[in-house]
Amino acid sequence: MPFTPYHLGPGLALGLPLRRWLHLPTFLLASIAVDIEPLLVFIFGLDYPLHGYLHTFLAAFLYGLLLGHIMLLLEKSFAPLYKLLLLEAGEQTSARAFYAAGVIGTELHVLLDAPLYSDIKPFFPLTINPLYNPTLTPLIYELCVAAWLLGILFYGIIVVATILRKLRKD
């Protein structure tokens, strides 16, 4: 997507209700991290496809595992912030939750981008994109915006529920 933040909508809408099983910060990062590739192409004027290898299911899978591992290593440093922002469900998150979040987030990114861009080759080494369907562009954007709104609603519910729980304890 030309505007990477659109990918955060599905990340929030799916990740918030699943945050007991998927590490939400990893899922959110993974849902946008694939776009490091076009960013580097733009910044450095690289002679490289805008949507290259990271926009394939195979590379996105491996990249998701790497992101999951890095986020797992950083967990102790960032856990207080995640808890403060209510991004973690409370109990200790398993390593599987980090790896799954990384892989699902990166794969979801490729799945959302593949219908939009003819240069994406999601099933590399195959050079075709059977998912390419530019007529789906408005629907995908609408889905992402709706997911943003749903994600914000979920987050609001989590915040209000947490405040009410704390008030009842006092």
Instruction: Please give the pLDDT value at position 169.
Output: 84
What domain range includes position 112?
Answer: 4-169
143 or 169, greater pLDDT: 143
Predicted structure pTM score: 0.91
Mean pLDDT of the chain: 92
**Burial class for 31, CB neighbours closer than 10 Å (0-12, 13-18, 19+):** buried
168 vs 148: CA distance, rounded Å = 30
Report the domain count for the chain: 1
